[in-house]
Structure 1
Amino acid sequence: MPELGDRLSEREIELLELVATGVTNREIAYRLHISVNTVKVHVRNIFTKIGAESRTEATMIAVREGLINVAGVELPNDQAAATPAAEPEPESAPPRPLTWAKRIALLSAPVLVAGLITVTWPNRGASQVNGNTDLPPERSQEQNVNAQVQNPTSRWHDRAQMPTPRAYLAAAAVEHRIYAIGGRAASGLTSAVEVYDPVDDIWARGSDKPTPVAYVSAAALDRALYVPGGCNAEFEPTRVMEVYDTAADVWREAAPLPAARCAYALGADADAFYVVGGRDRSRYVASVYAYDPQADSWTEMAPMPTARGFASASVLDGRIYVVGGYDGNRELTTCEVFDPARNAWAECAPLTVGRGSVATATLADHIYAVGGGGWTSYLGFNEGYNPQTDTWSPVETPLIGEWRSPGLVVLDTRIYAIGGWSGRYLSLNQVYEALPFRLFIPGSQQN
């Protein structure tokens, strides 16, 4: 049995270095390829050997004794870890919760909210935004006013967090597994492929995507995931399309996009998928390209009426609904529907609020729009679309303020929302019990 004063093993020091970064036990287990229970045993042994009672105290003692180095942390020799500050939250954890009273106040005071969400350019380390592009800015975490809503009657529930916190990723489902591909993390672009099993509530690792990109989407066709375009590390859109064979865990290239695109909307049916709008090398566009996987070829279709990027597309009754987006100046409420059989566009009812970097999904003859906000709008609720009445209704949200580009995937009767940006890159994994459809009243706990 370990005793106070015993020397830490190399593995315990390695684990203590991760503890000091604030990551969860599950993330430590993933990174070190050990079980969560093993992590817990190591943590208990570390606490015993160095005389700590919390993660914060263990970190302070380890820094003071020279066991680990933590950037920006210096302790004088005469200061022990007595009365440490509040334990830091993991970098991947969602923002702190607001009470319902504060949430109601925020939702009922739009003038005050508008003042709180002033958009500024952060430093490059915070968001990696290239000032030479017209990609919209990210707000720094200090300016972030969103929060996780904790409601005991909520239909949103926590699941195992994604190992790599990120946003602007591609996400899709194949055979009861959810695949999170690429995107942007705090360190820059990531090529990580992480696979979520909702039955066991656990993540596994797939083969990395050969070309790291962000502002990207994926289409699932015949057990393969097609990932067209995306922006590279220089924020330049690309043409490359890479295809992931989920059964063989291998990647291959397919016919490239006719033109470089990122921040596009993607809608897929059983036989084809459509890349709609997005950003080329200089502006937001209205183009539509249809991909035929059998012929491995692209066809240009009728352009969308509204040029925009950061919109989302979902297929319902054979038509593609393109919702929200950003036009370089503001977040849009626009809803336009494309009929591939007629190669024609029509209008649909606009969203209640503008939503850039929104994500959508179709379930039970409804389209759900999740996230957005933070550029020129404020996220106070999600929305559900009823095509029979051509109306949008509020749907509760687990985050308020802003939640940009989460991966949104439907499995069975549930909607999974994974990752995204909300003042920082998130690793959250939230599942929404969508059925039966219920109306959410903003500012109230009544459904």
Structure 2
Amino acid sequence: MNEEFELSEREIDIIRLVATGASNKEIAQKLVISPNTVKVHLRNIFGKLNVVSRTEATMVAIRMGWVDSPKNENSPVESIASKIDLNEFPVTQIGMSRNRRRWIGALVIFFLLLIIGNIYFFIFFNKNQTNNPTDSLPLQNSQRWQKLTPMSVGLKTMAAVRYEQLFYIIGGETNDGISDSVLIYDINQNSWKEGAKKPNAASNIQAAIIGEKIFVPGGINETGIVLKSLEVYDPREDQWEFKADLPNEISRYALVSFEGKIYLFGGWDGQTYRQEVYVYDPSIDSWDLFSKMPQGRADFAATVVGGRIHVFGGRNEEGILDSHDVFVPQRQMDGENPWSSSSPLPQKRFGFSVNVLADMVYIAGGENENQRNLPVIQFLPPKDEWLEIDQPIIPIGNFPAMIPYETRLYIMGGEVNSEVTSTNQVFQAIYTILVPVVR
């Protein structure tokens, strides 16, 4: 199974130990290698798995079957119920009263019935909604939004990524012009600081992270010129370097990292909407033309979910799009058509941000010819349908940044009523239910 990610047997051994919570030193002792060697292996593993943390690497290992998982994916009820681990109840079989056993059994059954009831209510609720998602979407009403410390300056069309427990907001456009700043947000401290400035100020950019490096291609500079440079930021050293130029000038593109490579879709070269799909291989520092999209577009977004790249919306010479295309790179390599269509956006939309949390796609920001401040929406891949979620107190506007972390979505900046904002707000997308332990 490790051929998909091309991990060596040594790397498989390391990822299994990582899944147990072992430190680098403990891994080194068990495998009789140095801690520095462990660090090198982990850096390679992160790059190959397209992850930036031990937790994400462990989740991939579980999904690939390298590490045993207590999760049963046969049914939604069993999947949720499996999280209630009876081994967490520190009760010995010998000497435990029959009444206590019955009490524990009743408690478990109660929580299972509660979960089952919620699942059936959710299914029944969805079935009774209108069949036209454009006119009316099911609402998930709750007070889940919270204001956080704003950025030091209003920004839009900036690049944004997470590395460890820090967010990196790079470049973009302010009310005064094009930015070369690197703003760093500390999740735990709810505070901002600045990093080394980007070599070329640029807006209309995106970023991808591979192997602990942040890659930022192209963009538009302060004089309106479209760039073709690839600038790479090292968050550990707070330093920038240049890598291989793009084949042509490009901005307003969509960018994802997938299986250790960077995929750049479409964009604007200063004159035309592009439909090429370029792939950058960091191991050889080279760009290659890989495929073409069904149509050229700009001001759109893409994300990876379920081993596929989903491409949403945007605009071109024909107008604003509601398309939702799915790209499978392996099919392109096999000589097949790599593109297919999925459920379109509920509204035509451009200038938005997209990301994935718990295998669900979220889209925030954007506008169309009829509406500004479009609602935040959620896409459920297994059901191929869209939902409208609880909306923020502060409007998001166009070209914001959105970054997921744990159970939350952080949304920063954007343009509202022709004013670039510095807002920073968080949405609690997932709640965790704690089951009491009987001692």
Compared CA separation, residues 400 and 285, structure 1 to 2 (3 A) = farther
How far has the Cα of 1:238 moved from its partner?
Answer: 1.0
Structure 2 match to 1:369: 363
Structure 2 match to 1:427: 422
How far has the Cα of 1:240 moved from its partner?
Answer: 0.4
From 237, 244, 249, the counterpart of 1:255: 244
Structure 2 match to 1:163: 152
How far has the Cα of 1:228 moved from its partner?
Answer: 0.3
- % same residue: 32
For 1:404 and 1:383, how far apart are their aligned partners in 2? 15
TM-score by length of structure 2 reads 0.63
Number of residue equivalences: 288
From 314, 334, 342, the counterpart of 1:325: 314
Unaligned stretches of 5+ in structure 1? 1-109, 111-150, 438-447
How far has the Cα of 1:270 moved from its partner?
Answer: 4.4
Alignment of 1:37-436 (within 5 A): 153-328=142-317, 330-343=319-332, 344-373=338-367, 375-398=369-392, 403-423=397-417, 424-435=419-430
Structure 1 match to 2:18: none
The answer to whether the 8 A contact 2:365-2:374 is kept is no
How far has the Cα of 1:328 moved from its partner?
Answer: 3.9
1:273 aligned counterpart, secondary structure? strand
The answer to whether the 8 A contact 1:381-1:400 is kept is no
Compared CA separation, residues 214 and 432, structure 1 to 2 (3 A) = same
For 2:251 and 2:154, how far apart are their aligned partners in 1? 20
1:210 aligned counterpart, secondary structure? coil
Compared CA separation, residues 218 and 305, structure 1 to 2 (3 A) = same
1:305 aligned counterpart, secondary structure? coil
Instruction: Give a deviation string over 1:390-414, Cα, whole Å, max 9, x none.
Output: 1111123326877111111111221
For 1:268 and 1:399, how far apart are their aligned partners in 2? 32
For 1:152 and 1:435, how far apart are their aligned partners in 2? 13
Greater shift, 163-172 or 388-397, is seen at 388-397
1:268 aligned counterpart, secondary structure? strand
Instruction: Give a deviation string over 1:106-139, Cα, whole Å, max 9, x none.
Output: xxxx9xxxxxxxxxxxxxxxxxxxxxxxxxxxxx
Instruction: Give a deviation string over 1:72-127, Cα, whole Å, max 9, x none.
Output: xxxxxxxxxxxxxxxxxxxxxxxxxxxxxxxxxxxxxx9xxxxxxxxxxxxxxxxx
TM-score by length of structure 1 reads 0.62
Residue 332 of structure 1 aligns with an amino acid whose one-letter code is L
Unaligned stretches of 5+ in structure 2? 1-134, 333-337, 433-439
Compared CA separation, residues 293 and 392, structure 1 to 2 (3 A) = same
Alignment RMSD: 2.0
Compared CA separation, residues 277 and 377, structure 1 to 2 (3 A) = farther
Greater shift, 327-336 or 307-316, is seen at 327-336
Residue 381 of structure 1 aligns with an amino acid whose one-letter code is P
Compared CA separation, residues 435 and 401, structure 1 to 2 (3 A) = closer
Residue 236 of structure 1 aligns with an amino acid whose one-letter code is I
For 1:398 and 1:349, how far apart are their aligned partners in 2? 25
Compared CA separation, residues 285 and 322, structure 1 to 2 (3 A) = same
The answer to whether the 8 A contact 2:275-2:294 is kept is yes
Q: Which is richer in helix? A: 2
How far has the Cα of 1:377 moved from its partner?
Answer: 3.5
For 1:238 and 1:386, how far apart are their aligned partners in 2? 36
**Stretches of 4+ moved more than 4 A in 1?**
399-402
